[in-house]
Structure 1
């Protein structure tokens, strides 16, 4: 991995110490150019005309995102963002009163809210499978839940927004396939951070965003839809004219592939940027990206644990590149503001971002630090130095 070349491709690296890749990573130049060039083309010749002109580039974006996930282009739907992708997948499950959604205590808070909304509206039962002692969902308990409760859907967040935990989704996928239970994976924080293979995971849906570790633009996401899902005839609750054809007065026909989940309106520049981000990640190498980001995160955890008043909150048998910590006597949001004033980007969370996890850990929130492969050891040390200075007794 040529770190100098990667940083030269990352204009923002010259201006900031960016350790907020779990929020929105710095885009590399090829991604920026893909987005900007298309917006400029729209300004010159018109939005519809520009979309027609760059049709081959759109096809390539489908192919590149598919390659990133280990699937084929017809199994990829582009979406406005990860939440839209996740909700579209949820809407495809024909829930009835008494149906069970099996999930974990670490699913993203928006997902948890959506499960509770389904419970309130349709009488669905939400079963949160307990954790293992080392952290993360207990796989034995998950298997027992799938076997005994026969859920209508199993939904799991691969890497929570509030922790470095990496959930063992492939093991859960094998359980779901064995009992023909649909499996939805939120890969918002894992796509671009590590290799993903939807066949190895065994999921029926996988939702993701472009803006985080994939280093794509904001306002773009995508959804993987399996052959099994399409063979079952599942479709979104509210298809539109891109995802379906109205063939008679009272009849519509869904698209035969994953595009039945898409909507008509797209900012195609963001789709091109997402494709460019997928290509860039594959060119760098996902294994190397994973190893480099985890090495920096491990260094952060070890150093943070030595600072007075700092408690590292991450738990699990496998940890990724999100580091969370509480700092006694310091509000995380105030720390973020002061670090940003010093040229260091991080992020903060409150209890409401992860009620179940933070209540169990007994904290009101956390400072979140998320390095990526283009960050340097010097940047990590710069952050640690500033944090020590900010939090030292006056």
Structure 2
């Protein structure tokens, strides 16, 4: 393993040696036996992968389709779901910016739901809106990508179900990180983030009333080796992964809370290991991100406002470790401290 302090799991997790070996071994099997023979031999492993992902998302294995990414999952929903023309989609202020763009590209009208002072969905207002002027669907980002803003998916699903309005969930940052087993009408995520699987693998789970419209997705051309890697990554996922990552996040927030020039941008009571930092001394977040990587080998993410234009007033620095030792804490806080001007 390199000397890199990897705090970018929210972009791409770090595959384990066993996951890398699983990909390599499948590619070797393709070379030795042929690609389609190797795919047939991998089929039981991939069925277990779908069943395991289904359990994480609150669905059975038959609900789960493979995709190539979260973006692909949303695109498949927009192409195949029976939405009326010029339909309204209701989102929260922390909605992922490119999702909004995709809704508009498909001719949908985007409405923004009321949120509280911290950016969380106002459930009373949602209930009122569903009763008075129901949209064609509600779309929630389970956990924002720029700070630990988690939406009340379970409660929203109950209200949407009572109103007969489908709920779609973007679980890109939540899968293998936060609780996700709510059984939303549709939920999608990539495997490359907190599951730490190879890039190019994603999942889409669709509830029974609409499931038949998504048949055939698994048959599209793909990297079977990457899916095998995802199966290995899921097999390694600890049963207490939510608690472990919550503990990592608590320690990280404690450590950075007193670092001069930064403040934690997460809402009160935030959980999980994704942490957003707001600069308080006019730092250029992109320049800081480059300096941390180039001078300290600390890999972070500069989150610009396009990620959530209705929730972000300025860029944030995102920290997203899958694990964190005390030496890592000292290294991070030391590299974040403001530089003092030299004298003389």
Give the TM-score normalised by structure 2: 0.92
| Residue equivalent to 2:189 | 208
Asked if 1 retains the 8 angstrom alpha-carbon contact of 2:57 and 2:183, the reply is no
Q: Do the aligned residues in 1 keep the contact of 2:94 with 2:119 (CA within 8 Å)?
A: no
Task: Check if 1:133 corresponds to 2:117.
Answer: yes
Matches within 5 A, 1:146-295: 146-197=130-181, 201-230=182-211, 235=213, 259-281=215-237, 284-285=238-239, 288-295=240-247
Q: Do 1:165 and 1:316's aligned partners in 2 also have CA atoms closer than 8 Å?
A: no
Separation (CA, whole Å) in 2 of partners of 1:330 and 1:312: 15
Is 1:344 the counterpart of 2:316? The answer is no
* Bigger Cα displacement from structure 2, 269-278 vs 305-314: 305-314
CA contact (8 A) 2:167 2:184 kept: yes
Q: Which whole-Å CA distance do the structure 1 matches of 2:83 and 2:209 have between them? A: 18
Pick which of 90-99 and 132-141 moved more: 90-99
CA separation of 1:169/1:316 partners in 2, compared to 1, >3 Å: closer, same or farther? farther
Give the Cα–Cα distance (whole angstroms) in 2 for the partners of residues 352 and 273 of structure 1: 31
- Is the 1:296–1:380 contact (alpha carbons within 8 Å) kept by the matching residues of 2? no
Are 1:188 and 1:207, in contact at CA under 8 Å, matched by a contact in 2?
yes
How much has 1:269 moved relative to structure 2? Answer: 1.0
Give the CA deviation at 1:83: 0.8
Supply the RMSD in Å over aligned alpha carbons: 2.0
Q: Cα offset for 1:15? A: 2.9
Task: Judge conservation of contact 1:65–1:275 (CA < 8 Å) in 2.
Answer: no
Counterpart-to-counterpart distance in 2, 1:109 and 1:316: 23
Say if 2:259 and 2:336, in contact at 8 Å, map to a contact too: no
Deviation at 1:54, TM superposition (A): 2.3
Equivalent residue, structure 1, for 2:317: 367
What displacement does 1:42 show?
Answer: 1.9
Give the aligned length. 340
> Any conservation in 2 of the 1:174–1:202 contact (CA below 8 Å)?
no
The runs of 5 or more residues in structure 1 that have no matched partner are: 1-11, 236-257
When residues 392 and 87 of structure 1 are mapped into structure 2, their CA distance, relative to the original with a 3 A threshold, is farther
Q: Which runs of 5+ in 2 are unaligned?
A: none
The answer to whether the aligner puts 1:21 opposite 2:9 as a matched pair is: yes
Q: Is 1:105 the counterpart of 2:68 in the alignment?
A: no
**Equivalent in the alignment of 1:5:** none
The alpha carbon displacement at 1:292 in A equals 2.7
Secondary structure class of the residue paired with 1:355:
coil
CA separation of 1:89/1:317 partners in 2, compared to 1, >3 Å: closer, same or farther?
Answer: farther
How far the C-alpha of 1:263 sits from its partner, in A, is 4.7
SS at match of 1:357: coil
List 4+ stretches of structure 1 deviating above 4 A.
none
> Which whole-Å CA distance do the structure 1 matches of 2:77 and 2:271 have between them?
27
